[in-house]
Amino acid sequence: MTPSLVFHSNSKLLEGPVFDIENNYLYFVSILECLVYCYNPKTKEILSLKLDSPVSCVFLLERKKIIVSSKNGFFEVDFNTLKKTFVFQIDINDSVRYNDGIKDSNGRIIIGTMGFPEVKENLGEVYSYYKGKYKTIIKDTTISNGLAFSKDGKFLYFIDTPTKKVAKYSYDINTGDVAFKSNVIEFKGAASPDGMCIDQDGMLWIAEWGGSCISKWNPINGEKIEEIKLPCKNVTSCCFDNYSNLYITTAKDDSEDDVYGGGLFYVELN
């Protein structure tokens, strides 16, 4: 399970990997460079498109077409033509930007915010957007990060990074409403949880900011099962491809010795 470096362009903050299993493409973003990427694992081709404000996450549409969130709104990006089209915006405060997001099985967009350019406590919220309407489903967050649905879709796992916890909410697929149940995982070391994904067995794989690893957890009993070390300190997010292997995004730290931070990595688990 040795990570291999797939892509590195000296980005400060790579994030939000999403794999299109049906069409075999990986999407990810460079938040502060306002770039969204499309990677073809077969040909190794990487396409990029620049937006006019910080980007955060990707929602799949069809082959080489996505919705990407940016501070100035949500855009449809077509990597067949390398064109972007404004789609919608949520009425967010000027002092925040979007961060992590996910789609539910009905196609709702769920996305959190955080203070920008300065992180401020309890300034963020988690929104649900569907068919032109939106609402707040989680309030008073600081750095809204990892989102993952349980395999049956009845629960939503959520990370507000400074809490160092993974919270579990019941999820109503008919209304998109959530209700807090409990905190199921707690990080007690120096690292903080960032992005995450869930595997076929319902285990959570969590990127550790400041921890140089991806860690695997059981959300039922809160136990850490294993970890995969990365050659850089700040690990931001992860996703599975169609072979159940991991793509991992990372960010630079403040050290001059950080050679690999801001790189995209691949780990074969099978």
Half-sphere exposure of 18 (CA within 13 A, CB side): 27
Q: Domain segments of the chain: what residues?
A: 4-267
Question: How confident is the model at residue 209, as a pLDDT?
Answer: 98
- Indicate whether 270 pLDDT > 90: no
Instruction: Write the pLDDT tens digit of every residue in 170-192.
Output: 999 999 999 999 999 999 999 99
- Please give the Cα distance from 192 to 176 (Å, whole number): 28
- Please give the Cα distance from 230 to 5 (Å, whole number): 10
Instruction: Write the pLDDT tens digit of every residue in 196-223.
Output: 999 999 999 999 999 999 999 999 999 9
pTM value > 0.85: yes
Instruction: Write the pLDDT tens digit of every residue in 59-115.
Output: 999 999 999 999 999 999 999 999 999 999 999 999 999 999 999 999 999 999 999
Task: Return the CATH fold of 4-267.
Answer: Neuraminidase (2.120.10)
Q: Which of 214, 254, 253, 207 is nearest to 232 (CA)?
A: 253
Encoded tokens for 47: 């396409």
Question: How confident is the model at residue 120, as a pLDDT?
Answer: 95
Q: Report the number of secondary-structure helices (H) and strands (E) in the chain.
A: 0, 24
What one-letter code names the amino acid at 84?
K
Instruction: Write the pLDDT tens digit of every residue in 114-142.
Output: 999 999 999 999 999 999 999 999 999 99
Burial of 253 (0-12, 13-18, 19+ CB in 10 A): middle
